[in-house]
Structure 1
Amino acid sequence: MNYNPEDSKWANRDRFVLSSGHGCMLQYSLLHLAGYKSVSIDDIKQFRQWGSKTPGHPENFETDGIEVTTGPLGMGISNAVGLAAAEAHLAAVYNKPGMPLIDHYCYTIAGDGCMQEGITHESASLAGHLGLGKLIAFYDDNGITIDGHTDLSFTEDVGMRFEAYGWQVLTVLDGNTDVAGLRDAIKQAKACTDKPTLIKVKTIIGYGSPNKADTHDIHGAALGKDEAAATRGQLGWKHGEFEVPQQAYDVFRGHAAKGASKQAEWNKMWAEYQQKEPELAAQFKRACMDRKLPDGWADSLPKLTPEDKGKATRLHSQDCINALANVLPEFMGGSADLAPSNMTLMKCTGNFLKGSYAERNFRFGIREFGMAAMCNAMSLDKTGIIPYCATFTIFSDYMRSAIRMAALSQAGTIFVTTHDSIAVGEDGPTHQPIETIPSLRMIPDLTVMRPADGNETAGAYKYALERSKNESRPTFMAFSRQALPNLPNSSIENTFKGAYAVIECADPEVILIGTGSEVHVCVNAAKEGLAGKKVRVVSMPSWEVFRAQPASYKDALLPKNVPALSVEAAVTMGWGEWADAFVGIDCFGASAPGQTCLDNFGFTSANVASCAMRCIAGERGALSNGSQGKH
């Protein structure tokens, strides 16, 4: 591999992903031997202990040299597909004859558990379709999982499966000792440039352990002092615990030195590139090396007034995506076979496919989980890519683990979802998200945005792109299927507050708090059903952003001595943080036209006004929970 421990973020380094994350001591040991300062011998001794740099699974935010966080099986190999896709795209955009600015491989090790997870099918299938020839996966085929031998539940021919995906499949029969065979397989893998390669490596788990090799007893447990000593004896290893002979350091540091030399050669090429390709070089430096947004990029976002004709926020999202695509060449992504519904297609570029890697529209197919994991890796590639992926809000459940991993591992993925409530209508409760958005708000470090109109949508995109590029953090956005009016006082700036007054009122008797498509219902309730009452209407596009505001602003907007009523077409769980009483839906929806569903489940200005009067009178809790709509 080409790597430089002194610069772990070198753009043209080879990437390595340990998909079998529970075997992370291998990776920590190699990082230490190679000279990464992030892992000392003392860190090795503190494996899985409080405060160490060697946690129980690889964590990119904890240990320098780790590319992506792995642990949930199958996630890592799917991340590797994303890293390989990033390499293919950047190479197609920037490489010029004699100046291969981006030319590296992505290696991954996956085990039997990874091969059983469905996410591996999704991502490996797409990798084969795309012909990602720089992806080399080692399948550690040891035939053991936690339950025991894999033939208890897993007897398929993995090699034939991957060949059907369009991969080259090679086999090394003795992965325990046949180093030459492994080297030859890697050579063959690199020679195949139009397909990813799976190298099936037959191994014995716990090789060398006299009493535990080839058993599930060694899968996730320490050998123990006596068995460790016996294993060292059987392997002929004459050194003690944590004793590393200098020769081992010399060999690994020698490889690291070669990597540093490769980077020095790359730096010379980069200097030449800047002379010969000044425009592309400037773009590469800004977007990929400095990882900064260009000056004035946000000026491209649309700005609207209440007089502008309302439309679905998914259409406003489409306007934002296409405005940004024209000014941000690093902005790329796609949908899980829902582009015409999610409105996520960029019109200024073509499809990222085999033979057209320079294009930016990804056709992920119906592979939500794999899609999200790939996009996480494209962000964690640290070459400045701003990835987005899209599906219906309800189907974010298919990729929930990857959304959580984006938040945990600090990936700047932008999750774009549409059809965000019971207003989906005729497709019925299978497609109507009820608990989805509130449950996503529970994930730490994930910002959830539910815009109410065009300006809030533009604000959500500005926030999401800055958060992705500048902080490498994820944002989840939920947009409406149905048309919504543009609101008074909405703006990009107010969206950045998380919540703000759409209709202001001094000394209010009640405050109505809406999100997304329910904000205009609150506005109508204030104007019609609550005439004569002092009502403040607040739009709250993001709990997380509002929570981060100064206490003085939050207390002024939502004074604790004024009763507040929340209105959201979702379960009422969690609203007690901001409101005293709630209008929501604590049951599943129904199949009917969208407006019919909204009316029958209580999302009307008349019902909101009635509940507001009850709130003023002192009633608390869920005053309307959708139960009136069940039949």
Structure 2
Amino acid sequence: MSNQNIDSLAVNTIRTLAADVVQKANSGHPGAPMGCAPMAHVLFSRFINANPKNSQWYNRDRFVLSNGHACALQYILHHLMGYKVSMNDLKDFRQMDSCTPGHPENTHTDGIEVTTGPLGQGIANAVGIAAAEAHMAATFNRPGFTVVDNYTYVMCGDGCLQEGVAAEAASLAGHLKLGKLVLLYDDNHVQIDGDTNLGFTEDVLKRFEAYDWHTQKVADGDHDLEGIASAIAAAKQVTDKPSIIAIRTTIGFGALKAGTAGVHGSPLGDAGVAEVKTKFGFNPNEKFVVPSPVYDAYKAVAHRGQTLESEWEEMLHRYESAHPDLTKDLKRRLAGKLPDGWKEALPRYTPADKALATRKFSEVAINALANCIPELMGGSADLTGSNLTHWKGAVEFQSESTGLGSYAGRYFRFGVREHGMAAMLNGMAAYGGVIPFGATFLNFIEYAMGAVRLSALSRFRVLYIMTHDSIGLGEDGPTHQPVEALAACRATPNMLVFRPADGNEVTGTYIAALENTHRPSVLSLTRQNLPNLEGSSVEKTLQGAYVLQDNTSSFSGKSVPDIVFVATGSEVSICVKTAELLQSQHQLATRVVSMPCMELFAEQSHEYRESVLPRGSPVISVEVLSTVGWGKIAHASIGLDHFGMSAPAEQIYHKLGFYPEAIADKAVKVIKYYSGRDVPYLLDRPFE
């Protein structure tokens, strides 16, 4: 059989399999897989270097399916190539406990690089992957040894290009001149509502040309496989620009409703599937059929990848002889291990040390960490001077041609692109060898929440350094003062949310964030200065909450405090002063608990949690943010369930009642309320 005939057979096999996969599930999206089959076959059979027998080979090309609803296409390709996706897995598409879920998830399916679902995320992920590749190549490659050398390919649809996150990342990719990034655009002119002429008539290629991308068009993506191949080959020759190829296709090619929204997200029906198979020369009565020549062709592709990996391993062995220190560092980073002694580089504080904003304590920590953890890299969304994320001696991540830095640099200028930044961080984390961080004001994490949520879902170690965390930022007013942002973050599964109270807790926060390799962390940091507290602890921060101060022993006959304050961040020091006031004026036994991380505290033993929040004592939470979520810990909450205001921070705190006298008055009322009543113990959980 000629190569041309095998190509045609492979493309039609992919199309008929896609129809079968969705039909059996009675759920899914057959249109994009059928329309994208030619470009996907060309890409995987001729260009992508990967070894299905070792999907984590580091120097593999990366492929990202941004239009993740088309995942049946990727699962089929992975099956054909020999990844751990069997024919039975294709038959179990979208079923319980299958490895072929309804959108690609990196934690479920062999060979999936990133979790994509919300449109546009994959494009931004791919920009992050390409940036990480450029950095690792600049860091480790030496003359005669290109140990990091791979391309990033991403496929997208019209919907992806309508999402702002893709625009943010694409703009930055053009500026950064990421020449090893190639975007295949499924230009089928159809979205769920119908023809794209209803709301998307821009010239996409002109937009990307303005972003400084290399642009091409393939007029007949349904049949012109050689045109697609030539375009990809030409894109690879452009080394100083990312590339986009607009490939005009027909959604659901071969189906009765081809070219319409009707084939986007619904099974074709038994009759429709049979019609497609008949059109492409397949037996309409047979299902899930892969002709032997197609399997053979893809086995050859897989063998090519195995050979490339073997050659790479041999080169790495020679590299180790020539550059032993670099090899040791590369292997450590790829294994996810942190350098020896890194914790000792972090500062510790006493109450005698100067009061600083926790964003400033964070800056001190970043300066220490950047010098001993070379894989730590990131930056700010145009707030470097406010977020304090730039360390001394940091080199900018930029193309050397700009004169602004180099790809070996580790500091990113993300621009005012919070969402694109977060999605890029996910791509960087997925690539491996780097630990990414991004920074902005806490209020603007809500611009980025789509990608932040995917960090958690993907189990990526990403650090979100969020400053200006409350009404404490003052005069900028309610548009910049977060109220609900931390509650939203705390409601997100598999994410650690920190609000440290002083320097020691900031140090502990960084330790916890870096040691948790499979979940992201949000660091909520103040603009205003906070004192270093008596009793604060780096180690106890890792337990999520701990007893900071307790004067119960000063009162004979009392075994538990009259009142327990549990607070975070800037309110911990206020509660310390409140406790002193209650002791001196009301002779009340008090305990102050600092809770820098609810999630870590919830993971401690029941015995430890009860030692911190004892039975019989009413608990008041104090935090100048939403009280949502505190009901599982506190009997009463002093918080902020409305927006802030524009004024100096001290005036806002006083007006809203966040000062010792006002909090003490409320504490007395809580104590009186529970006098003679049983205090329910909130930490008892019937399902533990």
Shorter-normalised TM range:
over 0.9
Q: Distance in 1 between matches of 2:295 and 2:616?
A: 67
Matches within 5 A, 1:66-465: 66-209=112-255, 211-238=256-283, 240-288=286-334, 290-355=335-400, 356-381=406-431, 383-465=432-514
- 1:624 counterpart residue number: none
Deviation at 1:48, TM superposition (A): 0.8
Q: Distance in 2 between matches of 1:203 and 1:244?
A: 23
- 2:566 counterpart residue number: 513
Q: 8 Å contact 1:314–1:418 — kept in the other structure? A: yes
Secondary structure in structure 1 of the residue aligned to 2:532: coil
Q: 8 Å contact 2:190–2:251 — kept in the other structure? A: yes
Deviation at 1:354, TM superposition (A): 1.1
What CA RMSD, in Å, does the superposition of the two structures yield over aligned residues?
A: 1.0
Q: Distance in 2 between matches of 1:253 and 1:617?
A: 76
Secondary structure in structure 2 of the residue aligned to 1:255: helix
1:338-372 CA-to-partner distances (Å, cap 9, x unmatched) read 01000001223210011210000000000000000
- 1:6 counterpart residue number: 53
- 4+ residue stretches of structure 1 with deviation over 4 A? none
Q: Report the AA paired with residue 228 of structure 2.
A: L
For the pair 1:488 / 2:534, whether they are aligned, the reply is: yes
- 1:30 counterpart residue number: 77
Name the stretch that deviates more: 346-355 or 27-36.
Answer: 346-355
Secondary structure in structure 1 of the residue aligned to 2:54: coil
Deviation at 1:560, TM superposition (A): 3.1
- 2:65 counterpart residue number: 18
Q: 8 Å contact 1:446–1:474 — kept in the other structure? A: yes
1:48-96 CA-to-partner distances (Å, cap 9, x unmatched) read 1111111110010011100000010000011000000000000001111
Q: Distance in 2 between matches of 1:348 and 1:283?
A: 21
Q: Distance in 2 between matches of 1:494 and 1:185?
A: 57
Secondary structure in structure 2 of the residue aligned to 1:391: strand
Matches within 5 A, 1:554-569: 554-569=609-624
Name the stretch that deviates more: 166-175 or 505-514.
Answer: 505-514
Deviation at 1:164, TM superposition (A): 0.2
TM-score, normalization by structure 1: 0.96
Q: Report the AA paired with residue 351 of structure 1.
A: E
Q: Distance in 1 between matches of 2:262 and 2:95?
A: 22
Q: Which runs of 5+ in 1 are unaligned?
A: 621-631
Q: Distance in 2 between matches of 1:195 and 1:223?
A: 40
Q: Distance in 2 between matches of 1:321 and 1:7?
A: 35
1:457-484 CA-to-partner distances (Å, cap 9, x unmatched) read 00000111111xxx33100110000000
Q: 8 Å contact 1:322–1:348 — kept in the other structure? A: no
- 1:526 corresponds to which of 570, 579, 589: 579
Secondary structure in structure 2 of the residue aligned to 1:617: helix
Q: Distance in 1 between matches of 2:368 and 2:57?
A: 31
Q: Report the AA paired with residue 6 of structure 1.
A: K
Deviation at 1:227, TM superposition (A): 0.4
Q: Distance in 1 between matches of 2:189 and 2:391?
A: 45
Q: 8 Å contact 1:379–1:472 — kept in the other structure? A: no
Q: Distance in 2 between matches of 1:12 and 1:349?
A: 27
Deviation at 1:544, TM superposition (A): 0.2
Name the stretch that deviates more: 11-20 or 46-55.
Answer: 46-55
- 1:594 counterpart residue number: 649
Q: Distance in 2 between matches of 1:510 and 1:258?
A: 69
For the pair 1:603 / 2:641, whether they are aligned, the reply is: no
Deviation at 1:236, TM superposition (A): 2.3
Name the stretch that deviates more: 363-372 or 432-441.
Answer: 432-441
Q: Report the AA paired with residue 376 of structure 1.
A: N
Deviation at 1:241, TM superposition (A): 1.2
Secondary structure in structure 2 of the residue aligned to 1:538: strand
Q: 8 Å contact 2:564–2:613 — kept in the other structure? A: yes
Q: Distance in 2 between matches of 1:138 and 1:91?
A: 24
Deviation at 1:547, TM superposition (A): 0.3
Secondary structure in structure 1 of the residue aligned to 2:52: coil
Q: 8 Å contact 2:190–2:261 — kept in the other structure? A: yes
1:430-450 CA-to-partner distances (Å, cap 9, x unmatched) read 000011111210000011000
Q: Distance in 2 between matches of 1:206 and 1:6?
A: 31
Q: Distance in 1 between matches of 2:53 and 2:611?
A: 50
Q: 8 Å contact 1:142–1:202 — kept in the other structure? A: yes
Q: 8 Å contact 2:359–2:526 — kept in the other structure? A: yes
Name the stretch that deviates more: 486-495 or 450-459.
Answer: 486-495
Name the stretch that deviates more: 520-529 or 447-456.
Answer: 520-529
Q: Distance in 1 between matches of 2:399 and 2:225?
A: 33
TM-score, normalization by structure 2: 0.88
Secondary structure in structure 2 of the residue aligned to 1:16: strand
Secondary structure in structure 2 of the residue aligned to 1:352: coil
Q: Report the AA paired with residue 416 of structure 2.
A: I
Q: Report the AA paired with residue 86 of structure 1.
A: A
Give the share of equivalent positions with the same residue, in percent: 50
Q: Distance in 2 between matches of 1:13 and 1:539?
A: 46
Deviation at 1:5, TM superposition (A): 1.1
Q: 8 Å contact 2:582–2:588 — kept in the other structure? A: no
- 2:521 counterpart residue number: 475
Deviation at 1:319, TM superposition (A): 0.6
Q: Distance in 2 between matches of 1:504 and 1:301?
A: 28
Deviation at 1:237, TM superposition (A): 3.0
Q: 8 Å contact 1:529–1:605 — kept in the other structure? A: no
Q: Distance in 1 between matches of 2:98 and 2:221?
A: 31
Q: 8 Å contact 2:136–2:433 — kept in the other structure? A: no
Deviation at 1:489, TM superposition (A): 1.5
Q: 8 Å contact 2:460–2:520 — kept in the other structure? A: yes
Q: 8 Å contact 2:535–2:548 — kept in the other structure? A: yes
Q: Report the AA paired with residue 524 of structure 1.
A: K
Q: Distance in 2 between matches of 1:215 and 1:48?
A: 24
Q: 8 Å contact 1:19–1:109 — kept in the other structure? A: yes
Secondary structure in structure 1 of the residue aligned to 2:350: coil
For the pair 1:53 / 2:102, whether they are aligned, the reply is: no
